[in-house]
Amino acid sequence: MDKPTVLIFGGCGFIGRNLVHYLVTNNLCSEIRIVDKTPPQMAYLNKEHSEAFDNPIVEFCSANLINEVSCKTSFVPSKIKNRSWDIVINAASENRPNQSDAVYKEGIFKLSMNCANEAATQNVKRYIELGSGCINSSDKNPLKEDCKLDPWTCLAKYKLKVEKELKLIENLNYTIFRLPIVYGFGDKRYLMPRVIIAALYKYLNETMKLLWNESLKLNTVHINDVVCAIWELAQNEKAVGEVFNIVDDSNTTQGSLSSILTDIFDINIDYWGVVMSNLTKLNMSEAVSDINDKHMGPWAELLQKDGIENTPLTPYMDEELLYHKHLNLDNSKLKKFGYELRHPNITSEKVKEVVEDYVKQNLFPRSLIN
């Protein structure tokens, strides 16, 4: 029996590149087509990911998936096998926080619907959609997939609109995965801004003060568990039409993340507390602007000091990432379907590996990690 063919939208992004690496290194499929607006040569791939992309079974295709014709062209049968795609994974939609409704309407909703509708037309065996874990806020009970939906970011609002529409598309064998804070090689927007800010406070020799308190839930998952879970459940017929939270067992909070950052950078971390932080809410945009102004200057200094001319990394924090909203998800459904976590707990070592990988690429100041 032939191994499946795989079409990955957003294949040069954080999740896409790790998925390609996982599929290639484990010899799991016969052909992979990567569809992305950014070519691999400009995507800041590390050595291991670059080698995976150079594999003969991997093909790159440039496309703007917001355009229906361009999206349809992406599905053209492969040159190698000349057969349709068995598994289609959409990791391409807009993932920047704090964008306008118009940006998300096109970059998430229209893009995802183009991909899903064409997947149904092409009779693909499985269509995978990546959603957001910011579906509601709960400090006490981890939220299951069927919880009341009250998204607290604009991005999550449009991701949920996609989820609802997928159910209405005939002949679409879909599975949806909701993600918390994902960390691992290639991360730029999930955990890395917090890591960079912690490193800056080592450079500034100051105490890092955070909004709210240590109990704020910030659930996490390692990128390896994201790609492994996607692949395993893409093979499971019982997962058709289902939604899954991919989250580790760490019950990660702002406090536990702070302990990890303290361990890596040897800094002091304190909190403003709920009362003072609530005062900040009265003018959150100005407060966030002041925070970013404080960090961007020293970051530029450090890059110049270490001879780094270009890097995709930034300490810039978007307003939505600083809300007093708990990201607290339940992973019991994922486990009931037979998935075993490869990295059940986030550790200092795993986070430091990501930083050291960026140091090797000369994208993160070496002086901060030494």
| Segments of 174-247 assigned E as strands | 174-179, 181-183, 208-210, 220-222, 243-245
Q: What domains are there in the chain, each with its CATH number?
A: 5-183+221-245 (3.40.50.720), 192-218+251-327+346-369 (no CATH)
Ordered per-residue pLDDT tens for the chain, 370 residues: 689 999 999 999 999 999 999 999 999 999 999 999 999 999 999 999 999 999 999 999 999 999 999 999 999 987 666 778 999 999 998 888 888 999 999 999 999 999 999 999 999 999 999 999 999 999 889 999 999 999 999 999 999 999 999 999 999 999 999 999 999 999 999 999 999 999 999 999 999 999 999 999 999 999 999 999 999 999 999 999 999 999 999 999 999 999 999 999 999 999 988 888 888 877 888 888 999 999 999 999 999 999 999 999 999 998 888 889 999 999 999 999 999 999 999 999 999 999 999 999 999 999 998 6
* Residue from 15, 53, 51, 48 nearest 34 by CA: 53
Beta bridge partners, 61, equal: 35
pTM of the model: 0.95
What's the pLDDT score for residue 80?
Answer: 66
Give me 115's structure tokens: 């991909």
